[in-house]
Amino acid sequence: MSRGVSNKITYKPYNQNEQWLLPPSLDELVPENHFARIVSKTVDELRIEAVLAKNTKGGGASRYNPIMLLKVLIYCYMTGTYSSRMIAKQCRENVNVMWLTGFQKPDFRTINKFRGEKLKDSIEEIFTSTVKLLNRKGYVSLEKYFVDGTKIESAANKYTFVWKKAVEKNEKKLDEKLKVFLKDVEEITHKENEVYGDKDLAELGEDITVTSEEIKEAAAKINERLAEINDLDDEESKDVKKKLKKAKRQIEKDYLPRKEKYEKANETFNGRNSYSKTDEDATFMRMKEDHMLNGQLKPGYNIQVGTENNFVIGYDVFPNPTDTRTLIPHLENVMKRLGCKFKTVIADAGYGSEENYDYLEEKEITGAIKYSTYEKETKRSFKKKAFNPENWKYDAEQKEYTCPCGNPVPYKRTVTKKNHSGYEQTYDVYQCENCEGCPFRESCTKSEYGRMIQRNENWISQKTKVKELLATDEYKALMKKRSTECETVFGQTKGNLKFRRFHLRGKEKVGIEWGLLMLGYDFKPLQG
């Protein structure tokens, strides 16, 4: 063995009860460029004290600083902690969160109340202030807007669905019973002729719906008639009383509650086909993220997100599952909040519709948006299909197509229809008059009335503009960049942060949760 070398095992000093001369500063325990510092610094730069102080009454006991609570929520959401109890635990145990709180320890009730009530009126303003700050610092120009949507499951309970078709079916059955029932009530109360005259039930119309107010009126008539004959004791009066009391029980226990339930359901639908009993703002949508990957129907929300340079500059929460109908209200909301007008909007084919193209053209916004059949129509094979009407000869002066067999397909009529949002579409209908005996009929059409074509001049014009625009190098580059913009946001939130389900119920509170995530997402790049 060499001199001075020892085989003795030694350890660093370890004493859990060691006394420090001075208590350590939490500031020393948080790394210089840690995300917690970025959150704290950025929130301070926003100058949102007045926004958070809105609707807050003075006096009473002192309360936690809302700026501190906001910092804690943003940090926790971006580190995958969403439960109010777990956030409160972080305030007691996590050094970074303890530094953000200044060693204060808000409980879960305080955190939950602040998140669910206080931020309800201010989250959009806070996010808008963040985007404007990014704009002032040169991170975003607010000129290009990449938009996309994703569906995230609601916090609603399982198996709480209400379907519009089922409600309509059951309400129709109830109305049929009620029409007979109300007729009987009128007969019992001796007021039949005042209401119905000489008409029987069939003449009154089978499709007449009965309202809850009409049922209440019938109940009032019953009570009125019962008061009139209350003191009578003859057999006829006893029989009438018995019938009236039975009718009253039917109204109170069955008919009126059911009718009010159906009316409330119809009001809640508000243009949707379904909703959840435990989260009435949520709509049943197909979700791709379940373990079976089979697109199960679950209560959820359609989240719309807009980005520029990988910063989120706009978001909205919608109950309708399709992206097509969300573009216009989403752009209107975002541009109003930011006080700007985008020059270019880039989106996928889910947003490509005649209504959206017309809107963008009217607002003088360039829409780099494919339509659903764009990829198919740009292929050579599409142009070779003989029975595709877009490849047929068309005479604009004569308003007539010529089919592959050489038969004329003349103009028949013009049709105008409205969609769900009230947008009017106008198209011409062309129909072949000589399909009988045509050797190509089976390949051309399956209709017994011959080949029919719908021609929408405005839609054709819009598609032509889109094709010309997307053929340029500039917009090819933008469409390529689109896949790395919004998709990154969804990948971060769903994949890395495991945020696949909201923890609060209702559209407003869902908006708060998503707003906290988007604030954290915008703060994250500032770390580097």
pLDDT digits 0-9 by tens, 244-302? 888 888 888 998 999 999 999 999 998 889 999 999 999 998 887 655 556 678 899 99
First to last CA, the chain: 52
Q: E strands, 280-407, where? A: 283-287, 296-308, 311-318, 344-347, 366-369, 393-395, 400-402
| pLDDT greater than 60 at residue 22 | yes
DSSP per position, 41-93: HHHHHH--HHHHHTT----SS----HHHHHHHHHHHHTTT---HHHHHHHHHH
Check whether residue 231 and residue 101 sit in a common domain: no
Q: How far apart are CA 138 and CA 353, in angstroms?
A: 33
Check whether residue 512 and residue 367 sit in a common domain: yes
Domain boundary among 246, 276, 306: 276
Q: Is residue 451 part of a domain?
A: no
Q: How far apart are CA 218 and CA 241, in angstroms?
A: 15
pLDDT digits 0-9 by tens, 400-423? 998 888 888 889 999 999 888 889
Check whether residue 314 and residue 370 sit in a common domain: yes
- 53-57, 92-96, 256-260: the lowest-pLDDT one: 53-57
Q: How far apart are CA 52 and CA 118, in angstroms?
A: 7
**CATH number of residue 298's parent domain:** 3.30.420
Q: What is the pLDDT of residue 201?
A: 35
Q: Is residue 157 part of a domain?
A: no
Q: What is the pLDDT of residue 7?
A: 81
Q: Is residue 394 part of a domain?
A: no
Q: Is residue 140 part of a domain?
A: no
Check whether residue 177 and residue 246 sit in a common domain: yes
Check whether residue 370 and residue 503 sit in a common domain: yes
Mean pLDDT of 138-143: 94
Yes or no: say if 428 and 454 are a contact pair by the CB < 8 Å rule: yes
Check whether residue 265 and residue 303 sit in a common domain: no
- Domain span including residue 198: 162-276
* β 344-347/366-369 pair status: parallel
Q: Is residue 282 part of a domain?
A: no
Check whether residue 299 and residue 271 sit in a common domain: no
Check whether residue 259 and residue 310 sit in a common domain: no
Q: What is the pLDDT of residue 522?
A: 95
Domain boundary among 98, 121, 144: 121
**DSSP letter, residue 388:** -
Q: What is the pLDDT of residue 294?
A: 62
Check whether residue 364 and residue 321 sit in a common domain: yes
Check whether residue 53 and residue 192 sit in a common domain: no
Q: What is the pLDDT of residue 210?
A: 83
| pLDDT greater than 80 at residue 162 | yes
Q: Is residue 2 part of a domain?
A: no
Helix (H) or strand (E) holding 40: helix 35-46
Domain boundary among 63, 88, 121: 121
Q: Domain tally for the chain?
A: 3
- Quick one: what percent of the chain has pLDDT higher than 90? 51
Average pLDDT of the chain to the nearest whole number: 87
Q: Is residue 427 part of a domain?
A: no
- The token pair that represents 101 in the structure block: 């709180």
Q: Is residue 460 part of a domain?
A: no
Check whether residue 104 and residue 44 sit in a common domain: yes
| pLDDT greater than 80 at residue 60 | no
Confidence of residue 230 (pLDDT cuts 50, 70, 90): confident
Check whether residue 229 and residue 351 sit in a common domain: no
